Amino acid sequence: MTEQEGTPQMATEEPLIVDCDTGIDDALALLYLLGDPAVDLRAVTSVFGNTDAVTAADNTLRVLELVGRQDVPVTIGARVNWRGTFHPAPFVHGEDGLANAGLPAPASAPREEPAPETIVRLARQHPGRLRLLALGPLTNLATALLLEPKLPELVEHVTVMGGAIHHPGNVTAAAEANIHNDPEAARIVLRAGWDITLVPLDVTMTELLTEEHHNRLERTGRAVPSFAASILGHYLDFYERDVFGARSAACHDPLAAAVAVGDIPCHRAPGLAVDVDTGDGPARGATIADTRGSYSDFPNREDTSARVVLRTERSFPQQLTERLCGFFDADSHHAA
């Protein structure tokens, strides 16, 4: 893997699985993808993280039904990490994971198939074409690798929202939440040898949603952007109180979704050797990337394990807002 400029070569029409712990930014990412009819979303698999895996699946169904996409199957995955623990984040995402926004209970239920088996089955059905977008801890992907060791040969590409390279962590000084929630699983996934893109805090913390974006969503008065405004307001509250001291919120999962379908240019995305600290010290969950090549514009290396996005245009929040505002209510016959 070498440094690439411009938009990644990732086609929206290829089948996609989103693996997520549906909280606020996961919901925004799903809506972003669902707003593009060219995105072939084949399944959403849930994992613990922002909330528990069962609630994450329920939240996913609520979001899908909000936009009339009950055709997308949802399956439940890992409830705890490889050490058997789980620590949700209600202080960020609300007690229900969706800022207590009051979306109606879903009419449908998750499928009985476990999430890792969903990933393996669809990879076998679409060899060399399936893409994975991981927006939570990587436990489901690591488990799927155990079920099917040839998975990296069957999957065309994996995009992971996670890690922090030059940026500080967001749950510890060194670690980002998704990787920290299951470092052992993350290490397995990053060492698996598939084509993988990592979208770390280095870029997601620089693409900022603001009160202006929130107000734009709110002014439409329509169901989907109003829901987005409601959960974004809660998110802005958290970031103002605990992170930035101002009404701005990081664009974690939606940015990774846009990278996964090739919607935004990545101005610095070198191939790097990336490892994960699985020890019990203060660096547990840290992503350790060899960035020494930055002094010579990242020359080609044979030991790279991931393409790591280190710089974007910082204009994506406006793109996300316009996409969300493009949703019209179900009884409307007008295009966005």
Q: How far apart are CA 267 and CA 9, in angstroms?
A: 14
Respond yes or no: is residue 21 known to be catalytic: yes
What phi, psi does 274 have (nearest 5°)? -125, 135
Q: Tell me the mean pLDDT per 10 residues along the chain, length 336.
A: 45 87 98 97 98 98 97 98 95 96 96 98 98 98 98 98 97 98 98 97 98 97 96 97 97 98 92 96 97 82 89 96 88 39
**Contact between 288 and 274 (Cβ < 8 Å):** yes
Q: How far apart are CA 264 and CA 254, in angstroms?
A: 11
| Gyration radius of the chain over CA positions | 18
Which residues are within 8 A (CB) of 234 and not within 5 positions of it... i.e. 6 or more apart? 24, 93, 94, 99, 100, 101
Q: Characterise 99 by phi-psi region: left (phi > 0), alpha (psi -120 to 50), beta (else).
A: left
- The helix (run of H) or strand (run of E) holding residue 233 is helix 223-242
Which alpha helices (H) appear in 70-138, and where do they start and end?
90-93, 115-125
As given in the structure block, the two tokens for residue 7 are 């938009």
Q: How far apart are CA 216 and CA 209, in angstroms?
A: 11
Respond yes or no: is residue 280 known to be catalytic: no
Q: Indicate if the alpha-carbon torsion angle 121, 62, 71, 31 is positive or negative.
A: negative
As given in the structure block, the two tokens for residue 36 are 């593009």
pTM, to two decimals:
0.94
Task: List the domains of the chain with CATH numbers.
Answer: 16-326 (3.90.245.10)
Strands (E), 122-215: 130-134, 155-161, 196-199, 208-210
- The helix (run of H) or strand (run of E) holding residue 53 is helix 53-66
**Lookup result for tokens 């996934």:** 189
Which residues are within 8 A (CB) of 125 and not within 5 positions of it... i.e. 6 or more apart? none
pLDDT of residue 300: 75
Tell me the residue type at 12. T
Of residues 19, 21, 58, 263, which has the active-site annotation? Answer: 21
pLDDT of residue 293: 84
Which residues are within 8 A (CB) of 11 and not within 5 positions of it... i.e. 6 or more apart? 262
Of residues 52, 202, 252, 253, which has the active-site annotation? Answer: 252
